[in-house]
A and B are shown apart, each in its own frame.
Chain A
Amino acid sequence: MVKVIHEAEFGQVKECAAAVIDFSATWCGPCKMLAPILEKISEEMNGKIEFFKADVDENPNLARQFAIQSIPALIFLKSGEEVGREIGFKPEAAVKSALQRLFG
């Protein structure tokens, strides 16, 4: 399951050994398309990798912290440290290969 987070809850992400934050917005078409793909992958990962979702309009500071310029943006983190990012809509296979590459 992809958990919706807000700025104040970012501590949760830091605690995860492997996490993905999906920066998105309500008006963004590609974000809307990416959402069910992430939902599906998160189910398959079954907690091995935690998935979060942050709305850039509601979380401007978090978006600035990660220098989000384009959405959807997937930020891959190990214990809160960014290890990679993917910008724009990606098909399932591409998201999975990024996860494999970054988290093994």
Chain B
Amino acid sequence: MNVGDAFKKIIIVRETASPWYTEEGVLIMSIYDFLLDRNSLEYQKSRARRGIPTGRTDCVKQNGRRNPMSRYDIAIIGTGPAGLEAALTAKARNKNILLIGSADLSAKVTKAHTIQNYLGLSNVSGREMQEAFLKQIESAGIKITDEQAKNIYAMGDYFVIQTGEIDSMVEAETLILATGLSQTKGLPGEDQFLGKGVSYCATCDAALFRGKKTAVIGYAPREENEADFLSELASEVLYFPQYAGEVRTAPTVKVIREKPVGILGDLSARTLETDGGEYEVDGIFILRDNIAPDKLVPGLELDAGHVKVTPQMETNIPGCFAAGDITGPPYQYIKAAGQGNVAALAAVNYLAAKRKE
């Protein structure tokens, strides 16, 4: 490798370290940063040169292209009325936003029969509402990143959002959670074994289950991809589709049409119980449309299953806001949109105050 004269020596260390410079001019950086992106060496060198001593491990990837310098002002998770209104408001305030969620919008909207009390849209069907929303989003120049946030990490003054594999991470200064009503209770044993054999993200945790036997419970057809991905590493993948219709998975994935009823184990999960039998496995992946908010964002405070918010839609984590059904009843489209608006303005104010510091 070509190293500039100013850089006599570079030490690549195994741990996840921030890059730093010793007095002798030796640059020390993490092998992970280096492996994730060869260009990160140039980037870290320039950081060190600019005297940024305690950098962080950057792994920002967008559409497969790494862009280590970008950090969104506001990341909005969810494409129901709350998320969309938050996006519209933030965009109108000229913020650099990332909107993550289903490009078809919330199923709760599209499946609705008639909506009678949404101001400006009288007696529309869910489909009509979806069309109206999409049209407005598009005309505002807002794009939906059609992915699912799997893990979100509160890093202090920014957030890291993981949508899949370890390098599929994006960063944002503020976060608006608008993922709707979280699924009713998990399976018996799910909470107990989460992180101990139970995972919500196959692409994130697949490496843990190399050569092992796994079960994947998929609540939507797109999870078939996760099962296929896992089958490349795991010795065996049992796929339990929880939806009707055809299943197209890799030939090595064994499809079992049974309903899971519980998870058993000792120190870690060992057995998936279904209405049709018991399966001894090393890992169980539960892939729902909706991850419980405190699992999605560790450290987030809930109140009776809903995200606890102030009237300004602030959560207990600074810079993290929530809006819509995720904050509790009443579950109304217009209320969700209104809260999305408040959350976006609160995030804008938060950013302004932070930048004044």
Contacts and interface: CB of A to CB of B under 8 A. Distances in A.
Contacts of B195: 70, 87-88
A40 B57 CA distance: 13
B18 interface: yes
A32 B57 contact: yes
A43 B57 CA distance: 17
A93 B14 CA distance: 27
A92 interface: yes
Contact of A37 (B155, B207, B317): B155
Interface in B36-95: 54, 56-57
Interface string A3-17: 010000000000000
A40 B196 CA distance: 27
Interface string B308-322: 000000000100000
Interface in A1-59: 4, 26-33, 35-37, 39-40, 43, 53, 55
A90 B294 CA distance: 11
Given A31-B16, A69-B196, A69-B268, A88 B156 contact: no
B299 A91 contact: yes
B298 interface: yes
Given A30-B151, A70-B195, A90 B18 contact: no
A29 B298 contact: no
A62 to B, nearest CB: 16
A89 B153 contact: yes
Contact of A90 (B54, B196, B208, B298): B298
Contacts, number: 74
B207 A36 contact: no
Nearest to B13: A4
B267 interface: yes
A102 interface: no
A70 B162 CA distance: 19
A32 B32 contact: yes
Contacts of B155: 33, 36-37, 91-92
A46 B195 CA distance: 31
A83 interface: no
A33 to B, nearest CB: 4
Contacts of A53: 15
Interface string B267-306: 1100000000000000000000000000000110000000
B100 interface: no
20 contacts: A26-B16, A27-B207, A29-B204, A29-B205, A32-B16, A32-B32, A35-B15, A35-B16, A36-B16, A36-B56, A36-B155, A37-B156, A55-B14, A87-B195, A88-B195, A89-B151, A90-B298, A91-B156, A91-B298, A91-B317
Please provide the 10 A-B residue pairs with the shortest distance between their CB atoms, ordered closest to farther: A70-B195, A27-B207, A91-B154, A91-B299, A33-B153, A35-B16, A70-B196, A89-B298, A69-B196, A36-B56
A69 B156 CA distance: 27
